Amino acid sequence: MTLYLDNAATTPVRPEVLEAMAPYLERYFGNPSSHHEVGEAAASALDDARARVARVLGMRAGDVMFTSGGTESNNAAIKGLVLGSGKTHLVTTAIEHESVLASADYLARLHGVEVTYAPVDSTGTLTPAALADSVRAETALVSIGYANNEVGTVQDAAALAAVAHEHGVPLHLDAVQAAGWLPLAGRGADAVTVAGHKIGAPKGTGILAVRGRLPFEPLLHGGGQERGRRAGTPDVAGAVGIARALELAEAERADDTARASLLRDAFVARVLAGVPGARLTGHPSQRLPGTASFVFPGINGETVLLELERRGIVSSSGSACAAGSDEASHVLLALGIAPDDARTAVRFTLPHRFTASLDAVADTVVEAVSAVGSRG
């Protein structure tokens, strides 16, 4: 039997989410912009989903728009807030998701926006002081990942928001990996990104919440849906599904976090004790409860992944968005890890509601690395 430990890449759709979505795929299938009974039923469901998401995020219902996922939400947040501001400077870091880095590059190439990559330390942590040194009078936006998708390092979002606001700059928080593991409300963010398929909703569902007072240039233009911030007929069933998934993740968060943290720590200790030279990447304690990422210097990481899968464990080398690339992870390089060592990375990410011991998994990791090393 295969054990799937690549939940940072995607998660299965929860039965409760499918159940919530079904009526809006079958019976209440109307276009929410249509002014008839069928359309109004869909519009009511969309409004309810928006309000439920807003409660979890600690924002207003009017701030919430539904998107196709984390990549669209990050693109829309960064391009929309920077271009809407009329300012010409963006602050982010070198360890962000590709959708953030590519959006920054787009703004630099085509709109003359200057991008500052605030420095992180060897654990992937951005300190408030480092952020303060990067912000200027012409800064339009600070865009930071709440929790890193590869190494799991968690940023002090509230402290970073305080720095940004002290300089009159809004903070965009990429919370794709954080949702369900970390508190989303009360962090001080002015814009928040969530992806449905990380929390048990279908792929192709996402959330971008942007405080209504902020000028925003839409990524998609057209019929004025989503209060003029995202044109196109909304996916009502998808909105209902991600709202339900987010509610469930938030309700279960405290229990999941406590349990996963204990399992993760025991797993990390066992792997580090059993594999000579193995290193945990990211912050040793300020990290996602369900994430353990390692480098195994001198060992081919992709070969380890294949060996683990042969032994019934599915994991990854890092971001699914960079899968298949021969390049060393940009995240690990930014942490100061040598390129050859970065190519040995292996990441294990737990599902929510996970309760089993990971001792046998850790032993299998030790055996798999040893087997690959003995062939090299």
Residues marked active site are found at: 321
Edge to edge, what strands does the sheet with 279-280 contain? 279-280, 291-295, 345-349
Helices 236-274 + 359-375 axis angle, to 10 = 70
What is the distance between the alpha carbons of residues 366 and 313, in angstroms, rounded to a whole number? 12
User: Which residues are within 8 A (CB) of 255 and not within 5 positions of it... i.e. 6 or more apart?
Assistant: none
Amino acid at position 160, single letter: L
H runs (alpha helix) in 86-120? 98-111
Tokens for 194, please give them: 């969530």
- Contact, 4 vs 351, CB < 8 A? yes
Distance, in Å, from the CA atom of 137 to the CA atom of 300, rounded to the nearest integer, reads: 46
Alpha carbons 330 and 328: distance in angstroms, whole number: 6
Pull the structure tokens for residue 277.
């030279």
